A and B are shown apart, each in its own frame.
Chain A
């Protein structure tokens, strides 16, 4: 019995080691999402100059299921996801709205859309990250699924693609359509 007692420190070491080992496999870029299920924060964004004079606010979120995509012309992953957004627009599966985040040159967002295509219904600009922080965004691109009541249902961090859309967002859209 006393002999076994001497193995106790070793056993504790193994247990702590195992926990730390599991900790190492956690992806530090995967941050908890706290806003899922909550009503999207109030916002009213200025229009993207050159595109329209309308802007984008949370009033535009009610009445239909939609996506909000945070992007910037400085963001390389946004370029990677853009062709998928264009495809999504053509398929008419869901309305996509855009928040053009922190452009150094206020014209670059519009030039970018002119060059690569404009998948968005409404676009607003957020040069000072106020709405970005309001939505708990940590980097671009990030995409939020908003239900017809203006509630955040899902958030995807990083570029969106067909696989993620089909696996994560389409089932949620089906559920939301049944709800309403």
Chain B
């Protein structure tokens, strides 16, 4: 039986599935909040995705419907219009709420372990693999290619067993 969808290439199917997912990626920015200047608005959005909503903590203020998130979005835009740089705005919010407000934790002495541990684990795992295969290469039993007397007699036993 011919597949009714067979005229669609795999790539098209994948694209359709991705499009189906699109409506679920919602943003909370309301039209009235947006800035007229598209470049400033773009900067506001890029700052907003980095800042955590303090009310619903695993959302950024760009995604959150919480009123405090909205007020923070407006504050970010006000400061942009006033001429603050992106970093100045982020630093202001961090000075009020701490590093916790950043969705990506900064790289500093307190977070070295957090940032470096995946690489440390990877290095340890790699070392483990190297050691494991080194050990397999030189088995300690007998010389390469020859069997000891004991091994020869054991082999003989096994071979004769299998033909009985």
Identify the A interface with B (CB < 8 A).
28, 31-35, 102, 128-130, 132-136, 138-139
Q: Decide if A129 touches B68 in the complex (CB within 8 Å).
A: yes
The stretch that binds A, out of B10-18, B80-88, B90-98, is B90-98
CB distance from B117 to the nearest CB of A (A): 11
Q: Decide if B54 touches A132 in the complex (CB within 8 Å).
A: no
Q: Decide if B97 touches A34 in the complex (CB within 8 Å).
A: yes
User: What are 7 contact pairs spanning A and B, CB under 8 A?
Assistant: A28-B57, A34-B96, A128-B74, A129-B68, A130-B71, A135-B96, A138-B97
Contacts A28-B57, A138-B55, A139-B55 given; does A34 touch B72 at CB 8 Å:
no
Chain B residue contacts of A34, Cβ below 8 A = 95-98
Looking at chain B's contact residues, the main secondary structure is: helix
Contacts A128-B74, A133-B75 given; does A32 touch B98 at CB 8 Å:
yes
Chain B residue contacts of A133, Cβ below 8 A = 71-72, 75, 93, 96
Chain A residue contacts of B75, Cβ below 8 A = 129-130, 133
CB distance from B138 to the nearest CB of A (A): 15
How does the 8 Å CB contact mask read for B49-71 relative to A, with 1 for contact and 0 for none?
00000110100000000011001
Chain B residue contacts of A138, Cβ below 8 A = 54-55, 68, 97
In the complex, whether B27 has a CB less than 8 A from a CB of chain A is no
In the complex, whether B126 has a CB less than 8 A from a CB of chain A is no
Q: Decide if A32 touches B96 in the complex (CB within 8 Å).
A: no
In the complex, whether B100 has a CB less than 8 A from a CB of chain A is yes
CB distance from B71 to the nearest CB of A (A): 4
Closest 4 pairs between A and B when the two form their complex, measured CB to CB = A129-B71, A136-B96, A34-B98, A138-B54
Chain A residue contacts of B96, Cβ below 8 A = 34-35, 133-136
A3 to B54, CA, bound (A): 49
CB distance from B110 to the nearest CB of A (A): 12
CB distance from B146 to the nearest CB of A (A): 25
A28 to B53, CA, bound (A): 13
Which of A32, A35, A134, A138 lies at the interface centre, i.e. has the most chain B CB atoms within 10 A of its CB?
A138
Q: Decide if A32 touches B100 in the complex (CB within 8 Å).
A: yes
Chain A residue contacts of B99, Cβ below 8 A = 32
CB distance from B84 to the nearest CB of A (A): 14
Chain B residue contacts of A134, Cβ below 8 A = 96
Q: What is the chain B residue whose CB lies nearest that of A102? A: B67
Q: What is the chain B residue whose CB lies nearest that of A2? A: B135
